[in-house]
Chains A and B, each alone.
Chain A
Amino acid sequence: MQVYLPIAEMSVDALVILALGAVVGFLSGLFGVGGGFLMTPLLIFLGVPPAVAVGTQANQLIAASVSGVLAHWRRNNVDVKMGVVMLIGGLVGTTLGVWIFGRLQRLGQIDLTISLTYVFLLGTIGSLMLVESVRALIRRRSPQLSRGKLHHHIWLHGLPLKMRFQKSKLYISALLPAGIGAIGGVLVAIMGIGGGFLLVPAMIYLLNMPVGLVAGTSLFQIIFVTAVTTLLQASSNQTVDVMLAFLLLVGGVVGAQFGTRAGSRIRGEVARTLLGLLVVSVALRLAWDLVAPPDDLFSVITGIPG
């Protein structure tokens, strides 16, 4: 069933997009991540202009985060105060990101930037995740070692503007969560991802937040950042395709339900190892495209004056 996408100005098979949404939704439910890092490259691969893929992805992520956050909200797993502080940083970050995006687009370097940030971030985080989870898998078999102390303090915790976060039982500088939020915001705008896979480890290892609150709080924050990104991308770059977002959303919501159920049946370390492998292979694939001689040395963009 062919459907014409009004903003991407192309015709796609609706079933392919629905299936894509379902598969990525399944994986995101399984691993508890947004899945944007898979969706954007896949959309670009299908021929959707990169700018439209990124802008639309921000729109689709709103829905994914809302449905995700509801489950955490019911279990009282959202630190609203922390979320709001991160959000303030996130809004600054996304404004900056949308501006950078437009600027690079005019310079003709947006595709390269998207690829490079993907390779760098996914490569680093994927490898870390893989190493950590494989270690955890091994540790399970050997006798349990002492965990060490709960909080370890580093220089980042000495920053000014200290704030008390009752729910997370933390007394830390507000600049820290705001800074993490800001980096997440830039990523939403440039890469079209929620940034959960970056925010979650940062919140665990840098903020020392209780692990149970991390997923809900990051999702809560991502809702607003992606909403503002959608607004900015739509009004300044005109790259949000609601038709595409709707199809992805329907597939994604259904897929995520099955993913979550499957996720509860496999062990955490196994899930993290698989996710690590997936992330690293996406990074390797993109890295290969950067170094391999391209099929055509030339690329053409119509409409936008250089």
Chain B
Amino acid sequence: MTRRHGLIALSALAGAALAIVLAVFTSAGARAQQLVADLSSHLIAITTGFTGTEVVLFGSTDGPADVAVVVTGPRTTATVRRKSRIAGIWVNRDKVVFEQVPSYYIVATNRPLEQFVRAPVLERHQIGLAHLRMEPKEPPTAGTLADYRAALVRSKQRAGLYGVTLGQVSFLGARLFRTNIYFPANVPTGLYNVEVFLIRDGDVLSAQTTPLVVSKVGFSAEVFEFARSQPFSYGLAAALGALLAGWLAGTVFRRV
């Protein structure tokens, strides 16, 4: 029984895959390799001396077209709180919890988006801060949702994690393109998605997603790992280390 079920599931899956492939090919005009893109590095290593880094994305199209690059960091929950004045003091009062908020989000294009793509298309692919989907858990108790969303974006921009302006994709000739993606020192760790969209006549013709891993390596990774996996031992080590350091300092400076 289970075997037959498995077979049915498998063939259904294969059918779906075939349908997708067909759909892609017919809508894209059955041309292979419309878009090829890759990153100069697929791993950003946060070492002890990490001060931010730049990754180069490069690629080629099959002819004159527009390119949009969207880099999205791992999604987390974000709590936005609004202060109001109570007895002369500014106190956090109302809050909105957003789920699935990208911890990093930048967009780069070869020319301003509105000039060549319609809003529904941008909406569908979540290209641009205005079209990024961030849903609240519950509506705000005071103020409008747009205010909270704007505050969230503002805060991320201040931290350098969301693009303030559109990045620039530059074409070298008609088909080769490249863009530099900057990751600041406070870049969150995790799995990033780099999406490249090929746009012609206001529609996305082809898209390619490349993964990018941001990870702590070396000493800082070990410290972080230790603190997360064995918090008690970590605390014990921290306390003992400080005891020792204090004793050492006390005895060394006694003689000076």
Digitize A291-304: 1 where CB-to-B-CB distance is under 8 Å, 0 elsewhere: 11110111111111
Point out the residue from B221, B235, B243, B247 that lies within 8 Å of A233, measured CB to CB: B235
Digitize B82-98: 1 where CB-to-A-CB distance is under 8 Å, 0 elsewhere: 11100011111001010
Q: Please state if B151 and A296 are interface contacts (CB–CB under 8 Å).
A: yes
Assuming the contacts A6-B227, A300-B152, A305-B97, asked whether A245 and B186 have C-beta atoms less than 8 A apart, the reply is no
Q: Please state if A238 and B253 are interface contacts (CB–CB under 8 Å).
A: no
Q: Please state if A238 and B89 are interface contacts (CB–CB under 8 Å).
A: no
**Residue B77 is within 8 A (CB to CB) of chain A in the complex:** yes
Which among A58-66, A140-148, A193-201 touches the partner chain? Answer: A58-66
Q: Please state if A66 and B243 are interface contacts (CB–CB under 8 Å).
A: yes
List the B side residues contacting A253 at CB < 8 Å: 245-246, 249, 253
Q: Please state if A2 and B254 are interface contacts (CB–CB under 8 Å).
A: no
**Residue A240 is within 8 A (CB to CB) of chain B in the complex:** yes
Q: Please state if B224 and A6 are interface contacts (CB–CB under 8 Å).
A: yes
Which among B14-22, B47-55, B61-69, B204-212 touches the partner chain? Answer: B47-55
In the assembly, what is the distance between CA of A117 and CA of B66, in Å? 57
List the A side residues contacting B78 at CB < 8 Å: 300-303
**Residue A290 is within 8 A (CB to CB) of chain B in the complex:** yes
List the B side residues contacting A102 at CB < 8 Å: none
A104 CB, nearest partner CB in chain B, Å: 11
Digitize A162-190: 1 where CB-to-B-CB distance is under 8 Å, 0 elsewhere: 00000000000000000000000000000
Assuming the contacts A240-B238, A257-B256, asked whether A298 and B80 have C-beta atoms less than 8 A apart, the reply is yes
Q: Which residue of A lies closest to B245 (CB)?
A: A63
Give residues 86-142 of B contacting A (CB, 8 Å). Answer: 88-92, 95, 97, 101, 103
In the assembly, what is the distance between CA of A10 and CA of B219, in Å? 15
**Residue B81 is within 8 A (CB to CB) of chain A in the complex:** yes
List the A side residues contacting B76 at CB < 8 Å: 302-303
B82 CB, nearest partner CB in chain A, Å: 5
Point out the residue from B89, B90, B234, B251 that lies within 8 Å of A70, measured CB to CB: B251
**Residue A19 is within 8 A (CB to CB) of chain B in the complex:** no
**Residue A284 is within 8 A (CB to CB) of chain B in the complex:** no
Assuming the contacts A67-B247, A70-B251, A231-B232, asked whether A238 and B227 have C-beta atoms less than 8 A apart, the reply is yes
**Residue B250 is within 8 A (CB to CB) of chain A in the complex:** yes
List the B side residues contacting A136 at CB < 8 Å: none
List the A side residues contacting B156 at CB < 8 Å: 300
In the assembly, what is the distance between CA of A108 and CA of B78, in Å? 12
Q: Please state if A304 and B221 are interface contacts (CB–CB under 8 Å).
A: no
**Residue A230 is within 8 A (CB to CB) of chain B in the complex:** yes
Q: Please state if A60 and B242 are interface contacts (CB–CB under 8 Å).
A: yes
Q: Please state if B151 and A65 are interface contacts (CB–CB under 8 Å).
A: no
**Residue A205 is within 8 A (CB to CB) of chain B in the complex:** no
Q: Which residue of B lies closest to A303 (CB)?
A: B76
In the assembly, what is the distance between CA of A7 and CA of B48, in Å? 12
List the A side residues contacting B59 at CB < 8 Å: none
- Per DSSP, are chain A's interface residues mostly helix, strand or loop, or mixed? helix
Q: Please state if A63 and B246 are interface contacts (CB–CB under 8 Å).
A: yes
A19 CB, nearest partner CB in chain B, Å: 18
Q: Please state if A230 and B227 are interface contacts (CB–CB under 8 Å).
A: no
Q: Which residue of B lies closest to A66 (CB)?
A: B246
In the assembly, what is the distance between CA of A214 and CA of B90, in Å? 38
| B47, B228, B235, B247: residue with the most chain A Cβ atoms closer than 10 Å | B235
**Residue A249 is within 8 A (CB to CB) of chain B in the complex:** yes
Q: Which residue of A lies closest to B222 (CB)?
A: A6
**Residue A270 is within 8 A (CB to CB) of chain B in the complex:** no
List the A side residues contacting B246 at CB < 8 Å: 62-67, 70, 223, 249, 253
In the assembly, what is the distance between CA of A227 and CA of B103, in Å? 34
List the B side residues contacting A227 at CB < 8 Å: 239, 242-243
Assuming the contacts A112-B91, A300-B155, A302-B103, asked whether A6 and B228 have C-beta atoms less than 8 A apart, the reply is no
Assuming the contacts A2-B51, A11-B51, A253-B253, asked whether A234 and B227 have C-beta atoms less than 8 A apart, the reply is yes
B87 CB, nearest partner CB in chain A, Å: 10
Q: Which residue of B lies closest to A11 (CB)?
A: B185
Q: Please state if B48 and A4 are interface contacts (CB–CB under 8 Å).
A: yes
Q: Please state if A294 and B90 are interface contacts (CB–CB under 8 Å).
A: yes
Q: Please state if A4 and B243 are interface contacts (CB–CB under 8 Å).
A: no
**Residue B194 is within 8 A (CB to CB) of chain A in the complex:** no
**Residue A109 is within 8 A (CB to CB) of chain B in the complex:** yes
Assuming the contacts A67-B253, A227-B243, asked whether A9 and B234 have C-beta atoms less than 8 A apart, the reply is no
Selected A-B contacts with CB under 8 Å, 16 pairs: A6-B220, A6-B223, A9-B188, A10-B185, A62-B242, A67-B246, A231-B232, A238-B231, A242-B223, A253-B246, A291-B89, A298-B82, A298-B147, A298-B148, A298-B154, A301-B79
**5 tightest A-B contacts by CB?**
A66-B246, A234-B235, A298-B151, A11-B185, A63-B246
Point out residues on B near A: beta carbons under 8 Å: 46-52, 76-84, 88-92, 95, 97, 101, 103, 147-148, 151-152, 154-156, 185-186, 188-189, 216, 219-221, 223-224, 227-228, 231-232, 234-239, 241-243, 245-247, 249-251, 253-254, 256
